[in-house]
Amino acid sequence: MCRWLTVCCLLFVSSVSVAEKPQAESKLVPLPQKVSAPKNNPTTPAKVELGKKLFFDPRLSGNNQMSCATCHMPDKAYGDGLALSPGAEGKPLKRNTQTCLNVGFFKTFFWDGRVASLEQQALGPIQSTVEMNQNLDNLEVELAAIPGYVTEFKDIFGTRPNKDGIAKALAAFQRTLVTESSPFDRFLAGDQDALSADAKRGLELFRGEAGCIECHNGPLLSDGNFYRLGVSFKDEGRANITGMKEDRYRFRTPSLRNIAETGPYMHDGSQKTLDDVVTFYFRGIPDSGPDGLNPDTAALDGVSFSDIAPIVEFLKSLSGKAPELTPPNLP
């Protein structure tokens, strides 16, 4: 197994098989400060404000007790700090909650990449029977009984509250969750003092011997592809969407932006700290898997454990300040 693919996915990675993997751009670039919106859902202040209210409103759940913000907490980098979040009836979900920060820059969504727009993504957890467990038709009726929402939907969309408007408003709000420049961005812009000596050493390893850049590149430090890491062979991941055996146990490469604030890690939340994750790539990846479906990566057993600390320091430099947000007053 070539070394670059070993840690190429330095954290809970994902995508096509090694043979199918397109040539990575392998560039590290600053994070854009604005997410472009589709033509059918332009971002407006009023729509963003409506989306923010819906994001925090527990009435979007079947039992009126869970909002999007229940699992995507602003003070926890829009995650919740848990390995597995409780879903409907308090039962743990099977996948780790991902952050909403910078999510608008992705081209596919969820760990398995099952939808290709934020509008589609927004409705998924709401109607999932294991998450918010809300019937969308019933939700339309419920919101249509709230005068404040009726007014806002009419002013913004020209309709009564409906699932299309809910999806568009939530997506518009999420597109504003872009972090400010991180120390790493400032370093890329020419500020040599933005990174510590240890973080600079970690960057050298990231780009070089560890090979992380092969999968963690571009503005999100994610190639958007799907990989089988051998973290677990319980959840079939991407194969649940494609129906292809070769996609079993594969998950999307996550963004490394603000990664120091969004643990626990991996699709199953099994790695508690960044040190745990990097150590997994150094020594923990298994040699084989079920049915000949071996991991797409191999452990970096030729790299010293002393290299873990500088890589972690570099990962910490990828955190930028999240947008300030005051929870809204709900209608």
Burial bucket for residue 87 (CB in 10 Å: 0-12, 13-18, 19+): buried
pLDDT by residue (tens digit) across 227-263?
Answer: 999 999 999 999 999 999 999 999 999 999 999 999 9
Has residue 327 been placed in a domain? no
Task: Mark residue 43 as left, alpha or beta (left: phi above 0; alpha: psi -120 to 50; beta: remaining).
Answer: beta
**Residue-wise pLDDT tens digits, 116-126:** 999 999 999 99
Tell me: do 131 and 241 sit in the same domain: no
- Domain assignment present for residue 328? The answer is no
Q: How confident is the model at residue 26 (pLDDT cuts 50, 70, 90)?
A: low
Domain end (from 135, 151, 174): 174
In a domain, 326, yes or no: no
Residues 20 and 108 in one domain: no
State the pLDDT confidence band at 4, using cuts at 50, 70 and 90.
very low
Supply 148's token pair. 């404040």
Tell me, yes or no, whether 331 lies in a domain. Answer: no
Residues shown for the chain: 331
Average pLDDT over residues 160-175: 98
- Asked whether residue 162 falls in the same domain as residue 52, the answer is yes
Mean pLDDT confidence for 1-18: 37
Give domain status of residue 241, yes or no: yes
Q: Do residues 10 and 62 share a domain?
A: no
CATH number of 246's domain: 1.10.760.10
CA 258 distance to own-chain centroid: 10
Q: Are residue 125 and residue 107 in the same domain, yes or no?
A: yes
Q: Would residue 206 count as lying in a domain?
A: yes
Of the residues 174, 209, 227, the one at which a domain ends: 174
**CA proximity to 169, closest of 323, 46, 257:** 46
Of 131, 152, 261, 313, which is the active-site residue?
131
What share of the chain in percent tops pLDDT 70? Answer: 92
10 Å CB burial of residue 147 (0-12, 13-18, 19+) is exposed
Lowest mean pLDDT among 8-17, 183-192, 225-234, 291-300: 8-17
What is the distance between the terminal CA atoms of the chain, rounded to a whole angstrom? 57
Range of the domain at 250: 3-31+180-316
Using a pLDDT cut of 90, give the percent of the chain over it.
86
Q: In terms of domains, do 310 and 184 share one?
A: yes
Do 136 and 220 fall into the same domain?
no
In this prediction, residue 25 carries a pLDDT of: 43
The mean pLDDT value for 25-36 works out to 87
Look at residues 141, 174, 207 and tell me which one is the last residue of a structural domain: 174
- Kindly tell me if the per-residue pLDDT of 140 is higher than 60: yes
Structure token pair of residue 75: 């003070």
Same domain for 84 and 24:
no
CA neighbor of 251 nearest in space, from 235, 263, 262, 269: 235
Burial class (CB in 10 A: 0-12, 13-18, 19+), 53: buried
Q: Are residues 146 and 241 in the same domain?
A: no
> Could you tell me if residue 324 is inside a domain?
no
Average pLDDT over residues 13-40: 67
Burial of 1 (0-12, 13-18, 19+ CB in 10 A): middle
Say whether both 101 and 154 belong to one domain.
yes
Determine if residue 15 is left, alpha or beta; phi over 0 gives left, psi from -120 to 50 gives alpha, anything else beta.
left
- My answer on whether 74 and 11 are in the same domain is no
Work out the mean pLDDT of the chain and round it to a whole number.
92
- Least trusted range by pLDDT, from 57-66, 186-195, 303-312: 303-312
pLDDT at position 18: 34
Question: Residue 24's pLDDT is what?
Answer: 39
The answer on 57 and 15 residing in a single domain is no
pLDDT digits (tens, 9 = 90+) for 275-292: 999 999 988 999 999 999
> How many angstroms separate the CA atoms of 250 and 5, rounded?
14
| Total tally of structural domains belonging to the chain | 2
Q: Is 142 a catalytic residue?
A: no
